[in-house]
Structure 1
Amino acid sequence: MNRKFSYHHTPAKSYAHRLKSKTAISDEVLIITSFDYFLDKNGLKLLLKKYKEIILVPRMVDDDYLLNQTIRPLLEKFDKIHLVTNPQYDSRYHVIYELVIRNNKSIRITTVYDFCENVLKKVYIPDDIAEENPAMPRRLSFDGKVRAVKNIIDLVLSIVLFALSSILWLASAFRIRQESPGPIFYFQERTGLHQAEFKCIKFRSMGTDAEANGAAFSRKKDSRIFKYGAIMRRTRIDELPQLINIFKGDLSLIGPRPERPVFIDTFEETVPYYNLRHGVKPGITGYAQVMYPYGAGVRDARHKLMYDLYYIKHWSIQLELKIILVTAIVVFTRKGR
């Protein structure tokens, strides 16, 4: 398989999945013996630039198949093996290691926790709420120095953005009233720092009866969105009023996306460590938003959380500026949600 591929997570099957690359910079083969649900399309693209082949081995594969049908053929083609495993729940790395060494090949073993953070730049989130990540602290938050730096960035950039976008505020107000009679702004309950609720302000992009049947995730092609609303959502103009939330202290410019309280209970019951994202202010844009495609539901919440927790755990000025730059590219190339 070349690098043009489509990846969709499916339940574990009785055989290994194999991905091949023609442009890898390394002569290693990567074997992942944990469930592959922590991988997304961006992650696989990154790995296919690095490894000649990627072998995804589900837990249901027995040792005989793993060794004879998967590992032995690889040893005929490769001298270097990089094995990624979850040592808490998968002990098969022992038999793989012994086979590789007996064939005088090189092997390095990495835990899935270290692999996610060091290679994929995300934090490993277990698939099962009962499973733990030993590398995960009980609490995640920014220290006083980071908060001070972020407050300065928020204030300066928000003032600049407000000044530069003032004409868009006026134009948007006119178009919204023209296409969809009703209020210009839309106020929605969101959950912020330490799970405090606040009113998130946006330009209204849907009809006034959009949630007549109850709260629901928005979709890429949502019939509730009027014409100019779709333009605002694609270019993120609808989020400009959230600058007011920044001035009020509810939001930061960069951070985990503020979620609606109605969905949080479900996420906290089904997604391990979801509550840790509440240790920092949410943001208008964030690492998860620029790294993961638009999506809704528990599966997407888990993937986005991996990036959000990496952002909190490994915050730096460079990462902050990267997110700002990528967000600007997304807005100006009109590749938003």
Structure 2
Amino acid sequence: MTLRQTLHALPRDARDTLFLLCVIAWVIAPQVNVLPVWASLLAGSLLLWRGWLAWKGRPLPTRWVLAIPLILAVGGTLYTHRTILGRDAGVTLIVMLLALKMLELRARRDAMVVFFLGFFTMLSNFFFSQSLFTAAAMLVALLGLLAALVNAHMPVGRPPLALTLRTAGTMALLGAPIMAALFMLFPRMAPLWGMPSDTMAGRSGLSGVMKVGNIAELALDESVAMRVRFDTPNGAAPPQNELYFRGPVFGAFDGVEWHPRGARGGDMLQSSPGTAANLQVRGEPVRYEVTLEAHQRPWLLLLDAAATKPVISGMETLMTQDLQWFTNRPITAVVRYKAESYPQFSHGPSAPTPS
């Protein structure tokens, strides 16, 4: 008996469940490289277990049995992310809950919960990538989830897969104008889950303040911060001792936190950029191009010391007395700029600086 004949011989519920499992696996697959390893393995094991139960016609596990992987999922999330809030921890939990919910798919109400979790998990893929490949993959996932939703509302008979896919495609086309209108007219609001995990506290990188004791809570962040291309005959970088990129400068200490001089409450946006004091450069400049990732702050990263203003389309740039370069608004998208820096320089205040 061929696989197609075997699938056709399965009961309607088992066939629909296997189709939904394939769709859920497709939705989760792009997140394997961003999920913790244990989460990917546990989710895959739960989906395979559910598929085996549907294939063999075995009963679903009791809630007491499901409590074990649920406790493991919550405990693993807390251990990995140190919280259950925020983007990364939230995505990990939503994937685990989706896989677990498949193991208690007993009534139509449970199916509706699975569909909504599936749609939300599908959208969460765009937290990590907005590439055309991701968009195409999620379009396929959307059609699959809609087809499974159509199956759930056709309890009588054995509708062919082509019919459900055609109905799902029609639904997607009918909803496209509404989607386009919402995209163009609906206000862009920051997600509620973005605040706890997306701040720079407790992660390596650049922050608006430096608090005593935060090093003990430091977690390494391996995401790309910037890319630099040097304008040299062979593209080689300068010597290592000349590769100091100046970012935020903390010149004031209140007994608990270091923050920029002149900033109120440690807010970099409230500091007062001006002209660098008595900057004198000598020697040959280093010319280079920087592609800076969005970091939600107004500062630029340049080699010491840049005497000329880097040009960024649509933004004003200015330098502080600490040789730090600012833009007139936070950098919320990738920017690219060219700069010239002088490894040999001297500078200092022309008048006493208040402490």
Structure 1 length-normalised TM: 0.21
Structure 1 or 2, whichever has the larger Rg, is 2
Structure 2 length-normalised TM: 0.21
Q: Highest relative contact order (Cα 8 Å, sep 6+), 1 or 2?
A: 1
